[in-house]
Structure 1
Amino acid sequence: MNDQVDETKPQSPQPGSGTEESVPLKELEAEDSRAVPDGGGEINLDALLDVQVTLSVEIGRSRLPIKDLIALNQGSVVELDREMDEPLDLMVNGTLIARGEVVVVDGQFGLRLVDIVSPSERLKKLK
């Protein structure tokens, strides 16, 4: 067998051998700066357009002491802070994006939007 290493061929470093190729810190910082803008830059939304988000509809809120929360049982009524004819809030991760009225679509609840937060305001909330 030939124990000599052919130095003309590139060698792959073995993990844990201490010979792994290091990437200069400046190169990593440059990659990071492309992925996340530094305060004043624009967000590249193309990378986010196919990301799935969970929407929720909020019909109202209520505050009560923990002792009342513990006392809740089947048949209890919790009063909410919203009038019956007010539109409901459409939320994404706790952020209001629209308001709407309840509708039924193929036997399931839906929301007909009556007031939408402008696209520029929605983008501001993403930052």
Structure 2
Amino acid sequence: MSDENNDQDQQALADEWAAALEEQVGGAGGTEAISDDGARSVDLDELKDESVVVGDPKLDVILDVPVRMTMEVGGTEIPIRNLLQLNQGSVIELDRVAGEPLDVKINGTLIAHGEVVVVNDRYGIRLTDVISPQERIRRLK
């Protein structure tokens, strides 16, 4: 019985996320809309498909390999002396301005930028800019 309730809770959560994402896109079946911040939503048909073909037998081997995804709000460098003086309530200034996009990294490699969203008291991230595979390879060199 608890598995059934858990499945229903998971489905309800998935439905809420889907509704929130649909609401952000405009919900009108892909019609173009311009938001207050100047972002333009477009039909998916207008986007160029640069994705990797999932059915490629060479890639099937690695598709289930887990990777570490992190969202970086910002960073700073402080001397160990200051680090040892930190306690509850301490404030650390980061190198990012409020409202600046977060870095989305996979195994330490920048793959996208995004912004924090909250749906049903859970944090998520909306990708605002995805680094192309060619650019990611160029940055590795």
TM norm. shorter chain > 0.5? yes
TM-score normalised to structure 1 length: 0.59
Shift in Å at residue 65 of structure 1?
Answer: 0.4
5+ residue gaps, structure 2: 1-57
Q: Secondary structure at the match of 1:114?
A: strand
Question: Of the candidates 45, 58, 63, which is equivalent to residue 72 of structure 2?
Answer: 58
TM-score, normalization by structure 2? 0.54
CA–CA distance in structure 2, aligned partners of residues 125 and 63 of structure 1: 23
Q: Secondary structure at the match of 1:68?
A: helix
Q: In the alignment, which residue of structure 2 is the partner of 1:114?
A: 128
Q: How many residues are aligned here?
A: 84
Q: State the AA in 1 paired with 2:123.
A: F
For the residues of structure 2 that align with 1:125 and 1:83, how far apart are their CA atoms?
24
In structure 1, C-alpha distance between the alignment counterparts of 2:101 and 2:88, rounded to whole Å: 27
Which has the larger share of helix?
A: 2
How far apart, in 2, do the equivalents of 1:73 and 1:52 lie? 34
- Give the match's secondary structure for 1:78: coil
Q: Which runs of 5+ in 1 are unaligned?
A: 1-43
The aligned residue for residue 103 of structure 1 is 117
Alpha-carbon offset, residue 94 of structure 1: 1.2
**Larger-Rg structure:** 1
- Sequence identity percentage: 56
